[in-house]
């Protein structure tokens, strides 16, 4: 661990997202305290032997907490770790054994990165242009548990509409200010009802075990129900159908395979 005074000089005056104790007695100046959500995850106190992927890791609070409990942690973020605070927190605490991939969630796959016991996608899905693909990619990484936290619009919709699988597009607030923007953050693309996220999770092969809605936030704890993507619609959504060769004689009705 780095000397506390040097660590203080490295983090002072910097804008963080996660507000956490980076070394004993020294806190980042973040705009979000993640400790409440960490408790809500209900991860084992002893995570030795458990592999965990933190997708959209940001400054790394959840990665570092899981590592502290003994998990083998792999983090993903669209920002390089040296530009997100993650690398600095690693350096200060000597946590170089946490693997970090500079990758967009829309590009990751279990074929490239493997599978994990637990996958975190916290505060992520509403920041991506294609949330179904992002969720499918996160689901593909998980061989058991998938934990989702997101912006939720249940309380903003009238009557029974809040119970429908609705997804609301959020225009770029810097270009279209008349439509508003959540937290003045132009990286917000979508708002979801909790029912929408639940059905999306079930669609990619998971069953929802816990779901908590509080104001404009929703947390979902889901477990894999289907052993793989067979039986889901993912092949239809993002792949091409396998070709069946045409017969040699085009005038023969049997030469054409129409389906």
Who's near 153: CB < 8 A, 6+ residues apart? 162, 166, 168, 191, 192, 193, 216
Q: Which of 1-5, 6-10, 142-146 has the lowest mean pLDDT?
A: 1-5
pLDDT of residue 176: 75
Distance between CA atoms of residues 4 and 121, nearest Å? 31
Encode pLDDT of 194-239 as tens digits. 999 999 999 999 999 999 999 999 999 999 999 988 899 998 899 8
The shares of helix, strand and coil residues in the chain, as percent rounded to the nearest 5, are 30, 25, 40
- Let me know if residue 243 belongs to a domain: no
Q: Where residue 75 falls among pLDDT bands split at 50, 70, 90?
A: very high
- Let me know if residue 205 belongs to a domain: yes
Encode pLDDT of 167-190 as tens digits. 999 988 777 777 676 767 788 999
Domain coverage including residue 128 = 4-230
- Let me know if residue 62 belongs to a domain: yes
The pTM is what?
0.92
Question: Crossing angle of helices 86-93/61-68, nearest 10°?
Answer: 30
- Let me know if residue 253 belongs to a domain: no
Determine what percent of the chain is predicted with pLDDT higher than 90.
Answer: 78
How many separate domains does the chain show? Answer: 1
| CATH for 181 | 3.40.50.150
- Let me know if residue 52 belongs to a domain: yes
Strands 72-77, 30-32: parallel, antiparallel or unpaired by DSSP? unpaired
- Let me know if residue 12 belongs to a domain: yes
Encode pLDDT of 22-74 as tens digits. 888 889 988 889 999 999 999 999 999 999 999 999 999 999 999 999 999 99
- Let me know if residue 245 belongs to a domain: no
Please answer whether residues 20 and 34 qualify as being in contact, where contact means their C-beta atoms are separated by less than 8 angstroms: yes
- Let me know if residue 236 belongs to a domain: no
């Amino acid at each position: 661990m780095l000397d506390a005074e040097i660590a203080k000089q490295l983090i002072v005056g910097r804008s963080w997202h996660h507000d956490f104790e980076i070394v004993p007695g020294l806190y980042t100046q973040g705009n979000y305290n993640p400790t409440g959500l960490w408790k809500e995850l209900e991860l084992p106190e002893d995570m030795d032997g458990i592999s965990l992927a933190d997708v959209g890791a940001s400054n790394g609070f959840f990665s570092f907490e899981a590592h502290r409990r003994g998990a083998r942690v792999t983090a993903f973020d669209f920002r390089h770790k040296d530009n997100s605070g993650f690398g600095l927190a690693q350096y200060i605490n000597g946590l170089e054994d946490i693997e970090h991939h500079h990758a967009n969630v829309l590009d990751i796959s279990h074929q490239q990165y493997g599978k994990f016991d637990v996958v975190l996608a916290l505060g992520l899905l509403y920041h991506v242009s294609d949330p179904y693909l992002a969720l499918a990619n996160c689901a593909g990484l998980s061989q058991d548990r998938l934990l989702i936290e997101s912006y939720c619009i249940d309380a903003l919709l009238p009557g029974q509409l809040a119970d429908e699988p609705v997804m609301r597009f959020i225009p770029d607030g810097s270009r279209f200010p008349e439509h508003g923007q959540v937290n003045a953050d132009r990286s917000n693309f979508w708002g979801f009802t909790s029912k929408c996220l639940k059905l999306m999770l079930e669609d990619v092969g998971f069953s929802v075990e816990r779901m908590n809605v509080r104001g404009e936030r929703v947390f979902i704890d889901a477990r894999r129900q289907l052993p793989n993507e067979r039986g889901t619609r993912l092949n239809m959504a993002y792949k091409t159908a396998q070709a069946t060769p045409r017969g040699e004689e085009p005038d023969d009705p049997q030469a054409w395979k129409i389906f």
